Structure 1
């Protein structure tokens, strides 16, 4: 009976994803937001309709789905894209990540939050949600310089966030020295890059040979699962490994035009389950833990994204319309932030409850309001460019 319930639940969830996709076309709301809300209603915080065994799969599904997203984002970092938008991607990603950390940490410190806790929360606030961002960009169906730059920013901004977080944690942690923390960050980031290169180079050479010019579905899924598994085994970042592998394949596979096109065909079923289960596991009770400091945290992150996008856009020579909308477009926040918060909670047990409550609560808010703002930003810039 448990297997029957599990299979029926999977069937209903896939059909719900299809319904959310169609409803998004009529309501102009991102399907990501609709899936999250549907998961929230059907999950433990709502009607509790989703079997616990299925929710237990969330960690595995999230790793696979996010590795696919990272691989596809890496695939957007072609030589041509970097030549056209490389300066904008670098300037904007650094300005937005750095600006977010400074504004959030500074604002929280100003109202009396311990400066060490404020620095940690500022570093956590830099994380985004590459899965939601990528899906909204695809749903918008708009291919302009703004969306190409957004993809590039999302591909690397979590790298800056991880580096910044490691430096901050080394500064405020009482249990680890600077050298140990920097070594851990280097292992996580550089190890992910090395793994991505090690898998990406043979994949670039060998894929697309059985059917000339078109990598097969088994090849695509195989490299994604292998990347995720090896990254977990080696304890390096699977996001960075996937992104690096995708970038290597797209730039070195000369015998086919689009690297791992088949990933796009199989990605959506994984994403349906990912977003629905993400909604089902969101802890709405965490919203009750938001005091004035929590409300300020949300406002500061929004303000920081806008200010950072203006500064980075100005340095990159972006248009006024693009500078105005990069910040709102980069509000979604999800799994990476929660993962960083877990690490921070383990290193700083006295503040673990505060860190997790604020991070989970902000994730609930930004996962619901973020994707619609991303879609709005894309459409506004596209309209002004058109």
Structure 2
């Protein structure tokens, strides 16, 4: 790029310089996204995803470049940081005082939506004649929910009360069920097709159990030590230190960053009775990272794989929506004797799907490479749709 400018100009075209400019452009785009959202009533999350998809279009279609990390290695840690922040804040929803009021609702809703999604997607794809590996893999992947999209949509709506608390509680534990279900599904498939099923099971157990151990290892000291100093910068530094430790250690140990962060956030919420400032400080700095998350997630999508396996993609989208809807309806019926305020369509508010689903798809494609071209395009294409319409469905349910 430097050859485009006169030789007497000192032009710095290193990756670090370009990354800083791109980060500035992304944050600037979020300002326009917020302005458009106020005038059109379209969720700003959906607008940010469209900005990311627009960047992917320019990069892949217009410039002819392959689908690649826009920030040359910086996108992944930024996305991970955003998800860890969201998960840590969701851990605050697992405070025992709140769970005594809504714990049964959260558990029943979560299990109903998870089980019905897995059952309808898996059975539906099998009945349509798709291979069992594809059907079971996509059924397990369908369980995953994007906590960032749901929590930000709830916050944007300004709604309070029973339904928002249940939604935030459900997305706080959904990925734990998803990890367990995905690990067991991969183990069963590995055993059925002759791969190493026991290894898949041990991997899932470590990802789940190791995340819980890491959450305790970080969360307990944090609950005891943070907030002892005066409010302001010291508490903010403590909160950022917790987030960075959770992000780095979870990647280093190969465990679920989302689950570890939720456990740590729950411990801080329940054990640090002397303050709640850690959550407040993270909320103050969370939005810029969420901007990076949604834009970079959209920009990382390989657009040339979106139209592959079109019929399978359509079937997966319809069956997953049906599973969400039926699961929410079942939860409303099961909890109706004690609670009158749970809407029958609450499952539709759990349709957003992003990083966790794509991560599961990559693992499934790595384990069963012969089905890679069937699994990955479906999850990529459905992620685009669910991330765009998901926030709209959350708002509809909350209304």
> 8 Å contact 1:75–1:259 — kept in the other structure?
no
> 8 Å contact 2:51–2:295 — kept in the other structure?
yes
For 2:363 and 2:105, locate their aligned partners in 1 and report how far apart those are by CA, in whole Å: 31
Match of 2:164 in 1: 147
Match of 2:388 in 1: 368
Task: State the Cα distance separating 1:117 from its structure 2 match.
Answer: 2.1
Match of 1:127 in 2: 144
Match of 1:22 among 8, 17, 35: 35
Task: State the Cα distance separating 1:260 from its structure 2 match.
Answer: 2.6
Indicate the SS of the match to 1:194: helix
Task: State the Cα distance separating 1:45 from its structure 2 match.
Answer: 4.2
Q: Kindly indicate whether residue 244 of structure 2 is the aligned counterpart of residue 231 of structure 1.
A: no
Match of 1:286 among 293, 305, 317: 305
Distance 1:283 1:198, change over 3 A: same
Distance 1:79 1:321, change over 3 A: closer
Q: Kindly indicate whether residue 109 of structure 2 is the aligned counterpart of residue 92 of structure 1.
A: yes
For 1:140 and 1:81, locate their aligned partners in 2 and report how far apart those are by CA, in whole Å: 21
Q: Kindly indicate whether residue 298 of structure 2 is the aligned counterpart of residue 261 of structure 1.
A: no
Match of 1:347 among 350, 355, 367: 367
> 8 Å contact 2:145–2:175 — kept in the other structure?
yes
Match of 2:333 among 309, 314, 318: 314
Distance 1:247 1:41, change over 3 A: same
Q: How does 1:215-230 map to 2 (within 5 A)?
A: 216-230=235-249
Indicate the SS of the match to 1:76: helix
Which protein is bigger by CA-based radius of gyration? 2
> 8 Å contact 1:55–1:277 — kept in the other structure?
no
> 8 Å contact 1:36–1:276 — kept in the other structure?
yes
Instruction: Compare 288-297 and 46-55 and name the one that shifted more.
Output: 46-55
Distance 1:45 1:330, change over 3 A: farther
Task: State the Cα distance separating 1:26 from its structure 2 match.
Answer: 1.9
Q: Kindly indicate whether residue 31 of structure 2 is the aligned counterpart of residue 11 of structure 1.
A: no
Task: State the Cα distance separating 1:47 from its structure 2 match.
Answer: 5.7
| Matched pairs, number | 379
For 1:266 and 1:213, locate their aligned partners in 2 and report how far apart those are by CA, in whole Å: 13
Match of 1:296 in 2: 315
CA displacement 1:246-271 (0-9 Å, x = unmatched) = 00000000111454310011111111
Task: State the Cα distance separating 1:234 from its structure 2 match.
Answer: 1.3
Match of 2:214 among 190, 195, 198: 195
CA displacement 1:226-279 (0-9 Å, x = unmatched) = 011111111111111101000000000011145431001111111111111111
The gaps in structure 1 that reach 5 residues or longer are 381-386
Q: Kindly indicate whether residue 199 of structure 2 is the aligned counterpart of residue 186 of structure 1.
A: no
**Structure 2-normalised TM-score?**
0.90
Task: State the Cα distance separating 1:177 from its structure 2 match.
Answer: 4.5
> 8 Å contact 1:68–1:263 — kept in the other structure?
yes
The gaps in structure 2 that reach 5 residues or longer are 1-11
Distance 1:364 1:212, change over 3 A: closer
For 1:178 and 1:288, locate their aligned partners in 2 and report how far apart those are by CA, in whole Å: 32
Match of 1:357 in 2: 377
Distance 1:97 1:216, change over 3 A: same
Distance 1:100 1:55, change over 3 A: farther
Match of 1:165 in 2: 182
Distance 1:200 1:309, change over 3 A: same
Task: State the Cα distance separating 1:104 from its structure 2 match.
Answer: 0.5
**Structure 1-normalised TM-score?**
0.93
Task: State the Cα distance separating 1:20 from its structure 2 match.
Answer: 1.1
Distance 1:119 1:214, change over 3 A: same
